[in-house]
Amino acid sequence: MHHANHFYGHAHVLAEYCGLNPDDPPRIDGYLQHGWNVVDGLGAGTPYVSGRPIFVWSEQTRRRARSMGRRYATVVGAPFLYLREMASRAAPPGAEPEKREGTIYYPFHGWEGQHIAGDHQRLIDEIIETEDGPVTFCLYWHEYQDERTRRRYEKAGRVICHGYRGLRWRDTDTKFLHNQLGELRRHRRVASNRLSSAVLYGASVGCEPAVYGDPMHLAGEETTIAQRIRRQWPELHGKFPDPSAAVESALAELGADVLASPDELRVTLGWAA
């Protein structure tokens, strides 16, 4: 399977949902979308073998993929939602929901191929001024390992990292999404300075979503894409957007209405015996 299928433990979550060994997921017969994006579901620069299936999160992404010549795009929904389903089934009957408090904020991040540029302190100041409760800053591993950046956030609140995404099948924190789900359910709000998977995930599990603050930028980034996102999804932007409209949009982007049964997913991913 393409190594990006293992990012964030996605293949492991889907294997568990399908009743297979989550510690050793089978090979996925194609490319699995590993993060929210506004193109064809593949990560930037992902080498694509013509004719191979792409498993995307939503119908919107499938349509974009087809418009870009990716004829074999299939909608399966976000792996995070399958984890949400499993967690809901595992909850004891009548269990009280965990008390929510404060905001979890995800600053826009870089990765191995691109570093981020922006004023972290200005962003921190705006967050503290805006939020009316305790703030948890969740840094991506790339910024978390930068001691100077991490300490700046530590002066303003609690700082966490969900784990390492993984690269070429190595060092993947297969509980990344589990860690993220647990943290999101402890917070009343989820926010970021860019619309991202984390904001959509938070909205899907009951957080009030918001997108505000200096959007920062990546080295060599095409800034028109970020501008387009703000124009196309205004209901998710702002310090206090209307929660109902924001959540409805987030669920659509994650493919909440198209989740497959375990049997269906096994067939789709090429895992049927």
pLDDT averaged per 10 residues, the chain (length 273): 88 98 94 92 76 93 90 94 94 74 91 71 96 95 88 96 83 94 97 96 98 83 81 96 97 97 96 85
Give the list of residues 6+ apart from residue 187 with CB closer than 8 angstroms, or none.
100, 101, 102, 103, 104, 136, 202, 207
pLDDT of amino acid 152? 94
The whole-model pTM stands at 0.94
pLDDT of amino acid 41? 87
pLDDT of amino acid 33? 95
pLDDT of amino acid 68? 86
Annotate 19-41 with DSSP letters as a single string: TS-TTSPPPPSSEE--S--SSSS
pLDDT of amino acid 96? 64
Residue ranges and CATH numbers for the domains of the chain are 3-77+258-268 (no CATH), 103-253 (3.40.50)
Helices (H), the chain: 10-17, 59-67, 79-90, 120-130, 141-144, 147-154, 176-184, 197-204, 223-232, 243-254, 262-268
pLDDT of amino acid 21? 97
pLDDT of amino acid 87? 95
Give the list of residues 6+ apart from residue 56 with CB closer than 8 angstroms, or none.
33, 40, 41, 62, 65, 73, 74, 75, 76, 255
pLDDT of amino acid 219? 64
pLDDT of amino acid 94? 63
